[in-house]
Structure 1
Amino acid sequence: MARRPCLDCDQPTEGTRCEPCRLARGRQRERARQRPTARQRGYTTEHEANRAAVLAASRICWLCGHDGADQADDVVPKSKGGTAKASNLRPAHGTNPCPTCGVRCNQARGNADATPPPLSR
């Protein structure tokens, strides 16, 4: 069989993915199967409506100050008693990294306290 580049890392492989990438994808799939749904984690229709309103008002990330935010970050995380109210949501980079600094600000912050930490650039 001809060797071709892995779909994930471009290393030569016999199949579509090299062994390390194949194992990593399996771990990702298992994590996704075990993770509760968004509704189970508390993201209700109220949250979705408030998220849309927050992102319509501004796309400036409250963590890094750059344009292009695509998620609404909980100022007080749900795991620490935060609510789905619009006053608890701020725009942040998440699904797509910031085009300026390359950070997924919402994921980098995690469930830290409300004061945004300095992010490594």
Structure 2
Amino acid sequence: MKPLVFLILSSTVASAETLVTPEMFEQMTEGRTFYYGQNSEPYGAEEYLPNRRVRWTFLDGQCEEGEWFVELDLICFVYDANPVPQCWSFYQQDEGGLIARFENDPNATTLYEMSQSDDPLRCLGPDVGV
């Protein structure tokens, strides 16, 4: 009986998410800013610019410039300050919103789309202020 219950639960969970292909990802994100959360708390935001350029912030006013590319069907990001690729799989939830799973260490980070906007990120930049 347990294998049947597991199979039913697995198929229910699997149908709740659809893997986002790189082409879908580009169509969904370009020109938009996505706000991500983890454990119901704000985590960060990414602005998706033309030509696969990105701008990331941990919502502290400081932004990292970078780009994304495809590697083995994963969406990988490199940033000017961190050139080590950070690869993610993205899933579209049936009820809307993206889920991003960090594939460099799948146990480390799963982010959920909290909101999205057409507005650019507000970045303070280095050495701003008095």
Q: Report the TM-score, using the length of structure 1 for normalisation.
A: 0.31
Structure that is richer in strand per residue: 2
Pair member with larger Rg = 1
Structure that is richer in helix per residue: 1
Q: Report the TM-score, using the length of structure 2 for normalisation.
A: 0.29
